Structure 1
């Protein structure tokens, strides 16, 4: 059984289901919860090639803090303490880098389950993580009612 688990967390129901899955499936593991803020969320393209919004960046960081506090609250429901972290970067690369840097055995990630053109155009973070992760990966596609409390 995996001893160090990484759960990638965003604001989606699939990510919360991934967290609940990890907490219920690996109750004795050391669980890390990571939120990645992609710089493309607070920068934008403009005539000169882009701009930076410090105000938007601050709002995104506050939102990430609230999300990680929510993760700690969910973990408390399972009587488990988690290690939380937040980083900036391209989401899939940041998840894999964190897994490598922290000797993670297993990654649990939510997936929106897009298909066809939407998947092609938007890409799949879960798929990229599964291909590049140093350990095994579980992909949670939608909330599982048995993991809900």
Structure 2
């Protein structure tokens, strides 16, 4: 495998995503790494009346969570090598589009839909990682 210049690590705010970031930093020590905090938009009808957080608050929280992931990685100079970005949308659409738009060479992600997949993923037979692999025209490494 040719060492990539750019690596994308998407995060959805789920456990063990720090492992994907650590893997990317260790495996591709010369690559620029982007940690993409994906914010799935809420249905506007559900959020009327301020019952749920506004999108800007959710985006800020996702960025903060991504910053904590970077800080929690035991890698020298991780903060200097990782750029944090955010994107709103469905992860299976946002991640492949981001990889294409930003000319990313490789995607590394934790396999949210392996072994412990949720009821909806099991019912539909697909999960986030599977969708990203199918839709991304770049190599994708999925960690379990």
TM-score normalised by L of structure 2: 0.80
SS of equivalent to 2:16: helix
Q: Which residue of 2 aligns with 1:56?
A: 53
User: Displacement of 1:120 after TM fit?
Assistant: 2.8
Q: Cα offset for 1:2?
A: 1.4
1:77 is matched with 75
Deviation at 1:72, TM superposition (A): 3.3
Structure 2 gap ranges (5+): none
Q: Does the 8 A contact of 1:22 with 1:108 survive in 2?
A: yes
Q: CA RMSD in A?
A: 2.6
Deviation track 1:70-102 (CA, whole Å, cap 9, x = no partner) reads 133245733232111001111111111110011
Gaps spanning 5+ residues in structure 1: where? 142-149
Instruction: Map 1:1-149 onto structure 2 (within 5 A).
Output: 1-40=3-42, 43-45=44-46, 51=48, 53=50, 56-57=53-54, 58-74=56-72, 77-80=75-78, 81-112=81-112, 113-114=114-115, 118=119, 119-121=121-123, 123-141=126-144
Aligned length: 136
Give the structure, 1 or 2, with the largest relative contact order (CA under 8 Å, sep 6 or more): 1
Return closer, same or farther for 1:43/1:17 CA change in 2, 3 Å cut-off: farther
Secondary structure of 1:5's counterpart equals: strand
Q: Secondary structure at the match of 1:39?
A: coil
**TM-score, normalised on structure 1?**
0.77
Question: CA deviation digits over 1:85-127, x for unaligned, max 9?
Answer: 0011111111111100110111011123146883333641100
1:20/1:74 contact within 8 Å kept: no
